[in-house]
Amino acid sequence: MANAPKPTTTPAKKEGGSGSSIFATLVIPICFVIAILIFLFILGDPSHYKGGDVEHGEPSDYFGTVHRGGPIVPVLMTMFLMLIVFSIERFVVIGKASGSASVATFVHKIQMFLNQGNIEAASAECDKQKGSVANVIKSGLKKYREMEAEQTLDVDQKTLAIQKDIEEATALEMPMLEQNLTIIATLVSIGTLLGLLGTVTGMIRAFAALGASGAPSQSALAVGISEALINTALGISTSALSIIMYNIFTSKIDSLTYAIDETGFSIVQTFAASHKNK
């Protein structure tokens, strides 16, 4: 059986994957630097403390309270900024992958053209739609036309070749859709763990104040408890939002995958039905 040709989008996908990798490599240190600057110069501004005393004064607003969370706060802020940036990036990429119109409408049009036997119109609709779903379907339609001209294979072999081409095209598109999702998934666990670490270090400071000789320092005790609670809140918030965004993106990808599978099945079945007696 003749080998199905590799879809022509391969070089573009390699470039896209490389670009996404560079993007991820740059985003993490940039977010860290931004988080440190926010922690030092915005949250740590003397105006957020009573008397302007950052070291020993009491926080006068919420910014000062967050600053009291200690050195783990900028790390948690880095993760929160990463979540925002990667979520925006995924929304853009998945939106482009969906194409210029509704995926459900596009799939319906393709199935209508297939039922009419109008392969050229279906291919033209893919050109108008664009995106990952359209790329996969267009690859399958191209193989459809090639198999119609093929004389050495029987119908079952031709059908299998079309199916294989659609699967290969899908395999090329999926990594682009799932890129950076592992980072968002990782933030789910790390956010909670770092929040817990901040809680532990804050409680250590609180109990150290209680164990000091003489009357315990209320200020030191308050600082320790504040650090514990602030880090807990930031860690849980980052983790919870990461879970929400991860589920949203996986749901969108599943919808695109289902649309590809549904339309690909229609292409294969249409070819098999229209050529079974040939």
Q: Average pLDDT of the chain?
A: 85
Q: Looking at residue 7, what is its pLDDT?
A: 41
**pLDDT band at 212, cuts 50/70/90?**
low
The model's confidence at residue 16, banded by pLDDT at 50, 70 and 90, is low
Given a cut of 90, is residue 52 above it in pLDDT? no
Give me the count of residues in the chain.
Answer: 278
Place of tokens 């090639």: 146
Considering 145-154, 168-177, 239-248, the range whose residues carry the highest mean pLDDT is 239-248
Q: Examine the pLDDT at 110 and tell me if it is beyond 80.
A: yes
pLDDT band at 8 (very low <50, low <70, confident <90, very high): very low
Does residue 187 have a pLDDT over 50?
yes
Give residue 81's pLDDT.
96
pLDDT of residue 11: 40
pLDDT in the model for residue 13: 46
CA atoms within 13 A on the CB side of 94: 23
Query: Tell me, what's the pLDDT at 204?
Result: 82
Mean pLDDT, range 141-146, rounded to an integer: 92
